[in-house]
Amino acid sequence: MRFQYWTIQATPDPTLLMTFGVGVLVVDSESQDFQVKFINRLESMPNSVPNRKAILNATRHLEAELNAMRSNLFGIEFTDFDSPSSYASQISNHWNNLISVDHPRFMSASNLGQAADLLFRLYIENKEASAPLKNISTLRTAVRKTYESVPVIEENLHSDPLIESNFLEGYFDLAVVREDNRIFELNSSFTFLPQQARANKEKIEAWNF
């Protein structure tokens, strides 16, 4: 299914070059049903952001205003406004551009909820809340979870595939294999630490072959 979406940003201080995502609005173009998803706590924002309480209050108010426009029969309606973006932008004037709305874009997903969740993870989730990558195992886990977050990829994902050629054989971290058993993508992470130079050389040769 095809959906139209808008990302919503906050600019806590107009004198600073600092803008970050606070929410997404996703609309089904056919049914006009929609879903909004915003940050819901102070910890969801970067620690360095000033005026976090004001931003949180603004996003909660905007979310309530958008949800109040929901119609059981006709989905979302924007009387006197030509798009959700123009409506949300008008609402944002109450906070002197503390909140702004990006231009509309399109995406495909299985359903409205999945689209909103995927966009929220992609654009909004605070990456500072995650523990820093400390080793190659942590990196591989993060990559795998990212692949698994997309259902169509997860269905065709294989872990630790053994790849064989006429010259070399080796294990990779992940493989995306199509229904006809053709390999769509291979993925492998490795470190450039000097003590693993030989292993890295073998991995590079395996990639080349």
pLDDT tens for 171-208 read 788 899 988 888 888 888 777 665 555 666 666 666 56
- Could you give phi then psi for residue 47, rounded to 5 degrees? -65, -25
* pTM for the structure as a whole: 0.55
Give Cα separations from 131 to 138, 142, 190 (angstroms): 10, 11, 19
pLDDT, mean of residues 123-135: 61
What is the pLDDT, as a whole number, of residue 100? Answer: 84
Helix spans in 75-131 (H): 84-92, 112-123
Distance CA 116, CA 107 (A): 10
In 3-state terms, what secondary structure has residue 76? strand
Residue 160 zone, left/alpha/beta (φ > 0; ψ -120 to 50; rest): left
Distance CA 18, CA 52 (A): 13
What is the pLDDT, as a whole number, of residue 70? Answer: 67
Q: What confidence tens digit (pLDDT) does each residue in 26-58 have?
A: 998 888 888 999 998 887 787 777 788 888 888
For residue 10, the surrounding DSSP H or E stretch is strand 2-10
Nearest to 137 by CA among 182, 88, 97, 173: 173
Nearest to 148 by CA among 124, 123, 186, 118: 118
Q: Is residue 95 predicted with pLDDT exceeding 90?
A: no
In 3-state terms, what secondary structure has residue 21? strand
What is the pLDDT, as a whole number, of residue 129? Answer: 47
